[in-house]
Protein backbone atom coordinates (compact mmCIF):
# COMPACT_ATOMS: atom_id res chain seq x y z
CA UNK A 1 0.00 0.00 0.00
CA UNK A 2 1.38 3.41 -0.98
CA UNK A 3 2.48 5.74 1.80
CA UNK A 4 0.45 8.93 2.28
CA UNK A 5 1.98 12.05 0.78
CA UNK A 6 3.09 14.64 3.36
CA UNK A 7 4.42 18.20 3.10
CA UNK A 8 7.95 16.98 3.76
CA UNK A 9 7.72 14.26 1.12
CA UNK A 10 6.14 16.59 -1.43
CA UNK A 11 8.96 19.10 -1.06
CA UNK A 12 11.66 16.42 -1.14
CA UNK A 13 10.17 14.75 -4.22
CA UNK A 14 9.68 18.10 -5.98
CA UNK A 15 13.41 18.72 -5.67
CA UNK A 16 14.28 15.24 -6.97
CA UNK A 17 11.81 15.49 -9.82
CA UNK A 18 13.13 18.90 -10.87
CA UNK A 19 16.68 17.59 -10.96
CA UNK A 20 15.74 14.58 -13.12
CA UNK A 21 13.42 16.54 -15.42
CA UNK A 22 16.06 19.20 -16.08
CA UNK A 23 18.10 16.74 -18.20
CA UNK A 24 15.22 14.72 -19.72
CA UNK A 25 14.86 15.01 -23.53
CA UNK A 26 11.11 15.17 -24.32
CA UNK A 27 10.06 14.71 -27.98
CA UNK A 28 6.44 15.84 -27.43
CA UNK A 29 7.56 19.33 -26.35
CA UNK A 30 9.88 20.00 -29.28
CA UNK A 31 8.82 23.23 -30.98
CA UNK A 32 6.00 23.84 -28.48
CA UNK A 33 5.68 27.53 -27.58
CA UNK A 34 2.38 27.37 -25.68
CA UNK A 35 3.23 27.87 -22.01
CA UNK A 36 -0.06 26.32 -20.92
CA UNK A 37 0.75 23.10 -22.81
CA UNK A 38 4.19 22.94 -21.20
CA UNK A 39 2.67 23.56 -17.78
CA UNK A 40 0.06 20.83 -18.26
CA UNK A 41 2.77 18.39 -19.36
CA UNK A 42 4.90 19.06 -16.28
CA UNK A 43 1.97 19.01 -13.84
CA UNK A 44 0.70 15.65 -15.16
CA UNK A 45 4.19 14.17 -15.17
CA UNK A 46 4.87 15.24 -11.58
CA UNK A 47 1.54 13.82 -10.39
CA UNK A 48 2.27 10.51 -12.16
CA UNK A 49 5.73 10.50 -10.57
CA UNK A 50 4.20 10.94 -7.12
CA UNK A 51 1.39 8.41 -7.68
CA UNK A 52 3.97 5.71 -8.32
CA UNK A 53 5.11 6.11 -4.70
CA UNK A 54 2.41 7.79 -2.62
CA UNK A 55 -1.33 8.08 -2.08
CA UNK A 56 -3.06 11.46 -2.14
CA UNK A 57 -6.39 12.98 -3.05
CA UNK A 58 -7.02 13.81 -6.71
CA UNK A 59 -6.86 17.38 -7.97
CA UNK A 60 -9.91 19.40 -6.96
CA UNK A 61 -10.72 21.67 -9.91
CA UNK A 62 -13.63 23.24 -8.01
CA UNK A 63 -11.20 24.46 -5.34
CA UNK A 64 -8.47 25.10 -7.91
CA UNK A 65 -5.94 23.16 -5.81
CA UNK A 66 -3.77 20.31 -7.10
CA UNK A 67 -3.19 18.63 -3.73
CA UNK A 68 -6.36 19.40 -1.73
CA UNK A 69 -5.49 17.19 1.25
CA UNK A 70 -2.28 19.22 1.73
CA UNK A 71 -3.76 22.55 0.62
CA UNK A 72 -1.06 22.95 -2.04
CA UNK A 73 -1.49 24.20 -5.61
CA UNK A 74 1.19 23.56 -8.22
CA UNK A 75 2.28 26.32 -10.63
CA UNK A 76 4.55 25.91 -13.65
CA UNK A 77 5.96 28.99 -15.38
CA UNK A 78 8.74 29.99 -17.77
CA UNK A 79 11.67 32.05 -16.49
CA UNK A 80 11.12 34.54 -19.36
CA UNK A 81 7.86 35.70 -17.75
CA UNK A 82 7.35 33.98 -14.38
CA UNK A 83 3.61 34.33 -13.86
CA UNK A 84 0.36 32.37 -14.01
CA UNK A 85 -3.36 32.84 -13.57
CA UNK A 86 -5.32 31.91 -10.47
CA UNK A 87 -9.07 31.70 -9.70
CA UNK A 88 -10.46 34.89 -8.16
CA UNK A 89 -12.40 34.05 -5.01
CA UNK A 90 -12.31 37.24 -3.00
CA UNK A 91 -10.42 40.52 -2.84
CA UNK A 92 -9.39 39.39 0.65
CA UNK A 93 -6.88 37.06 -1.01
CA UNK A 94 -4.75 40.02 -1.98
CA UNK A 95 -4.42 40.95 1.71
CA UNK A 96 -4.68 37.72 3.68
CA UNK A 97 -3.27 35.35 1.05
CA UNK A 98 -4.75 32.88 -1.41
CA UNK A 99 -5.82 30.42 1.30
CA UNK A 100 -3.44 27.65 0.22
CA UNK A 101 0.27 27.00 -0.32
CA UNK A 102 2.05 27.17 -3.69
CA UNK A 103 4.62 24.84 -5.20
CA UNK A 104 6.24 26.73 -8.08
CA UNK A 105 8.39 25.22 -10.84
CA UNK A 106 10.22 27.81 -12.97
CA UNK A 107 11.74 26.40 -16.16
CA UNK A 108 13.89 27.41 -19.11
CA UNK A 109 12.93 25.44 -22.23
CA UNK A 110 15.55 24.52 -24.82
CA UNK A 111 14.87 22.78 -28.14
CA UNK A 112 17.48 20.50 -29.71
CA UNK A 113 17.12 20.42 -33.52
CA UNK A 114 19.52 17.48 -33.82
CA UNK A 115 17.39 15.16 -31.66
CA UNK A 116 13.98 16.84 -32.14
CA UNK A 117 13.53 16.96 -28.38
CA UNK A 118 13.06 19.69 -25.79
CA UNK A 119 14.51 19.94 -22.31
CA UNK A 120 12.89 21.79 -19.43
CA UNK A 121 15.72 23.01 -17.25
CA UNK A 122 13.97 23.72 -13.96
CA UNK A 123 15.90 26.68 -12.60
CA UNK A 124 13.86 27.29 -9.45
CA UNK A 125 11.62 25.08 -7.33
CA UNK A 126 10.00 27.13 -4.57
CA UNK A 127 7.45 26.39 -1.85
CA UNK A 128 5.42 29.40 -0.72
CA UNK A 129 3.56 29.07 2.56
CA UNK A 130 -0.04 30.27 2.36
CA UNK A 131 0.73 33.00 4.89
CA UNK A 132 3.08 34.57 2.30
CA UNK A 133 0.75 34.43 -0.72
CA UNK A 134 -0.68 37.94 -0.35
CA UNK A 135 0.26 40.82 -2.64
CA UNK A 136 3.63 42.34 -1.74
CA UNK A 137 2.78 46.01 -2.22
CA UNK A 138 -0.69 45.83 -0.68
CA UNK A 139 0.41 43.97 2.44
CA UNK A 140 3.47 46.19 2.86
CA UNK A 141 1.37 49.37 2.73
CA UNK A 142 -1.22 47.99 5.13
CA UNK A 143 1.45 46.92 7.61
CA UNK A 144 3.07 50.38 7.39
CA UNK A 145 -0.30 52.05 7.99
CA UNK A 146 -0.98 49.84 11.01
CA UNK A 147 2.47 50.54 12.47
CA UNK A 148 1.78 54.27 12.06
CA UNK A 149 -1.45 53.96 14.04
CA UNK A 150 -3.97 54.18 11.18
CA UNK A 151 -7.63 53.59 11.98
CA UNK A 152 -10.36 51.79 10.02
CA UNK A 153 -11.15 54.84 7.86
CA UNK A 154 -7.50 55.18 6.88
CA UNK A 155 -7.37 51.52 5.84
CA UNK A 156 -10.60 51.82 3.84
CA UNK A 157 -9.12 54.84 2.08
CA UNK A 158 -5.98 52.86 1.26
CA UNK A 159 -8.04 50.03 -0.25
CA UNK A 160 -9.98 52.56 -2.31
CA UNK A 161 -6.78 54.28 -3.51
CA UNK A 162 -5.32 50.94 -4.58
CA UNK A 163 -8.51 49.94 -6.42
CA UNK A 164 -9.05 46.80 -4.36
CA UNK A 165 -12.19 45.20 -5.88
CA UNK A 166 -14.43 45.45 -2.81
CA UNK A 167 -17.51 47.45 -1.89
CA UNK A 168 -17.67 49.74 1.16
CA UNK A 169 -19.23 47.06 3.40
CA UNK A 170 -16.55 44.49 2.66
CA UNK A 171 -13.78 47.10 2.94
CA UNK A 172 -15.08 48.02 6.39
CA UNK A 173 -15.09 44.36 7.46
CA UNK A 174 -11.52 43.88 6.23
CA UNK A 175 -10.35 47.07 7.97
CA UNK A 176 -11.82 45.97 11.31
CA UNK A 177 -10.25 42.53 10.93
CA UNK A 178 -6.85 44.05 10.15
CA UNK A 179 -6.99 46.17 13.32
CA UNK A 180 -7.48 42.96 15.31
CA UNK A 181 -5.14 40.77 13.26
CA UNK A 182 -2.58 42.43 10.97
CA UNK A 183 -1.86 40.64 7.70
CA UNK A 184 1.45 38.91 7.06
CA UNK A 185 3.88 40.33 4.53
CA UNK A 186 3.08 38.71 1.17
CA UNK A 187 5.60 38.06 -1.60
CA UNK A 188 3.46 37.59 -4.71
CA UNK A 189 2.49 40.33 -7.12
CA UNK A 190 -1.26 39.91 -7.67
CA UNK A 191 -2.84 41.89 -10.51
CA UNK A 192 -6.57 42.65 -10.54
CA UNK A 193 -8.43 40.82 -13.31
CA UNK A 194 -11.35 38.42 -13.81
CA UNK A 195 -8.74 35.91 -12.68
CA UNK A 196 -5.90 36.89 -10.40
CA UNK A 197 -2.62 37.20 -12.28
CA UNK A 198 0.21 35.96 -10.04
CA UNK A 199 3.77 37.10 -10.70
CA UNK A 200 6.67 35.23 -9.10
CA UNK A 201 9.81 37.34 -9.65
CA UNK A 202 9.95 38.41 -6.00
CA UNK A 203 9.25 34.88 -4.77
CA UNK A 204 12.20 33.65 -6.85
CA UNK A 205 14.55 36.36 -5.58
CA UNK A 206 13.48 36.00 -1.93
CA UNK A 207 13.35 32.19 -1.79
CA UNK A 208 15.43 30.99 1.14
CA UNK A 209 15.91 34.53 2.46
CA UNK A 210 12.53 35.08 4.14
CA UNK A 211 10.39 32.88 6.34
CA UNK A 212 7.69 30.98 4.48
CA UNK A 213 9.34 31.16 1.03
CA UNK A 214 11.48 28.03 0.76
CA UNK A 215 13.92 27.22 -2.02
CA UNK A 216 13.71 23.49 -2.68
CA UNK A 217 16.18 23.53 -5.58
Task: Spell out the domains of the chain, with CATH numbers in brackets.
Answer: 3-81+99-132+207-215 (3.40.210), 136-180 (no CATH)
Cα(62)–Cα(137) distance, integer angstroms: 29
Predicted model pTM: 0.92
Tens-digit pLDDT string for the chain (217 aa): 789 999 999 999 999 999 999 999 999 999 999 999 999 999 999 999 999 999 998 886 666 789 999 999 999 999 999 999 888 888 899 999 999 999 999 999 999 999 999 999 999 999 999 999 999 999 999 999 999 998 999 999 999 999 898 899 999 999 999 999 999 999 999 987 767 889 999 999 999 999 999 999 8
pLDDT of 87: 84
| Environment class of 185 (CB within 10 Å of its CB; exposed 0-12, middle 13-18, buried 19+) | middle
Cα(213)–Cα(197) distance, integer angstroms: 19
Helix (H) or strand (E) holding 86: strand 83-86
Amino acid sequence: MAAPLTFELLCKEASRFAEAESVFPEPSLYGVTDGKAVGTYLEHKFRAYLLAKYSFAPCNSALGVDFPDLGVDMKVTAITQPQSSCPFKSARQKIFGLGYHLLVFVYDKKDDAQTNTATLNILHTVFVDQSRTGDFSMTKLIRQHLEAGSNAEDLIGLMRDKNLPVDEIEASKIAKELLKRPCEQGYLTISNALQWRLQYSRVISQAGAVEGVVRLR
